[in-house]
Structure 1
Amino acid sequence: MSRTDYFHDPAAPAPNSIKVAVSALVQDEHGRILMIRRTDNDKYSIPGGGLEAGETVAQAVAREVMEETGIEVDATELIGVFSNPDHVIAYDDGEVRQEFSLCFRANPIGGAPRTSSESKEVRWVEPAALGELDVHPSIRLRISKGLEASGDPYFT
C-alpha cells in the first residue's frame, strides 16, 4: 500500500483516523543510526509502525524494528510523543491518518540487517550523513530530539 505524507500543507485531506504508532531511534556502538528506506514512499526513516492489540509499546518497538530491519532491540527511553495535526498520512485505501507516534530510544541486542516488505534498504548511518538522505521532516524531528541530551521527553 502506498502513502502520501502531508506536512503543513493546506491542500492535505482531512484525517479520518488516528492510530497509535511507535518508532525507534537505534544507535550502534559507534553512534550510527539504524535507518530504513521505506517501500511505501521511498523515504528514509527510523523503523516503526502500529501498535497491535495485546502488546505493550515496548513489545511493539521490538517487533516493528525486527520486522523491518532484522535487528533485535530493547526499548530503553521515551524520546517523545509526536502528534502534530498538521502531519497527515493518506493511504491508497482511503485512510487518512493524523500522526500519533511514541518514539523511543532502543539498544540493538542482536540480529543482522535485512530488508522486508516494508523496507527496501536497511543501513547504519552516521548522524553527520543524515542530510544526504531524503528523510521526512517529522522523522528528522524525532531523530534530532533523540540526539539531544536533555533527557526530558518531547511532546506536541
Structure 2
Amino acid sequence: MKRVDVAYALIHDKNNEKVLMVNNRGSGWSLPGGAVEHGETLEQAVIREAEEETSLTVEVQNIIAVNEAFFKERGHHAIFITFKAEIIDGEASIQDKEEILEIEWIDIQTANELMPFHPGGVESLLNSSSPYTFQG
C-alpha cells in the first residue's frame, strides 16, 4: 500500500461555536485539507490546502489529532494530521468549483455527526494540543 499523508485545518469560530468545513465533490464534508505534496512540510500543506479550498490564509498552530486508515480500493495507507489553525487574512470563497461544492461554518454538533471518527467529538479536538516542530 502507498503511504499518503493528509493535513487538515480545524478553524474554529469561538464566538459562534462553529467550525469551517468544506463539501468535497465525491467525498462529502471535511475540514479544509488534503494530501501533502512531495518536498512539502505538514505546515506548508495545511496552509496551501486551506487557501486552495477556502481562499483563506491561515496560521498553523499545534497538532490536535492523528488518525490512520487503510483504503484498500485505492491501495492507500493514509495518515491524517489535524492542526488547529487561525484565519489571518481573506474571506471564505470557493476557488476550485470542480473540487469544492460548498464552504460553510458548521455548528459543533453537526460537525460531530459529519466527522464521527474523532472520539470525544470536535470538543475534544478543541481541548487537545501537541506541539508541531519542523526539524529541517
Match of 1:58 in 2: 43
CA distance in 1, matches of 2:80, 2:128: 20
- d(CA) in 1 for partners of 2:60 and 2:128? 18
Cα distance in 1 for residues equivalent to 2:13 and 2:123: 16
Provide closer, same or farther for how the CA distance between residues 79 and 150 of structure 1 changes in structure 2, counting only shifts above 3 A.
closer
Alignment map for 1:79-90 (pairs within 5 Å): 79-83=64-68, 87-89=69-71
Name the % identity: 28
Which of 13, 20, 23 does residue 34 from structure 1 map onto? 20
- Structure 1 length-normalised TM: 0.69
DSSP-derived class of the 2:10 partner: strand
- Give the paired residue count: 127
Aligned to 1:107: 86
Residues 73-98 of structure 1 show CA distances to partners (whole Å, capped at 9, x for unaligned) of 11111112212xxx3336xxx63322
Query: Which letter maps to 2:8?
Result: S
CA-to-aligned-CA distance 1:60-117 (integer Å, 9 cap, x gap): 100001111111111111112212xxx3336xxx633223111100001111112223
Give the CA deviation at 1:137.
2.8
| C-alpha contact 2:108 2:123 (8 A) present in aligned 1 | no
Q: Which has the higher strand share?
A: 2
Within 5 Å, give how 1:13-32 maps onto structure 2: 16-30=1-15, 31-32=17-18
SS at match of 2:40: coil
What's the CA shift for 1:144? 4.5
* Structure 1 runs not aligned, ≥5 long: 1-15
2:106 to 102, 105, 125: 125
Deviation at 1:150, TM superposition (A): 4.4
SS class of match (1:27): strand
Q: Scaled by the length of structure 2, what TM-score is found?
A: 0.78
Tell me, in whole angstroms, the C-alpha distance in 2 between the residues paired with 1:137 and 1:125.
Answer: 14
Sort the Cα spacing of 1:96 and 1:79 in 2 relative to 1 into closer, same or farther, 3 A: same
CA distances 1:1-34 after superposition (whole Å, capped 9, x unpaired): xxxxxxxxxxxxxxx2221111111113523211
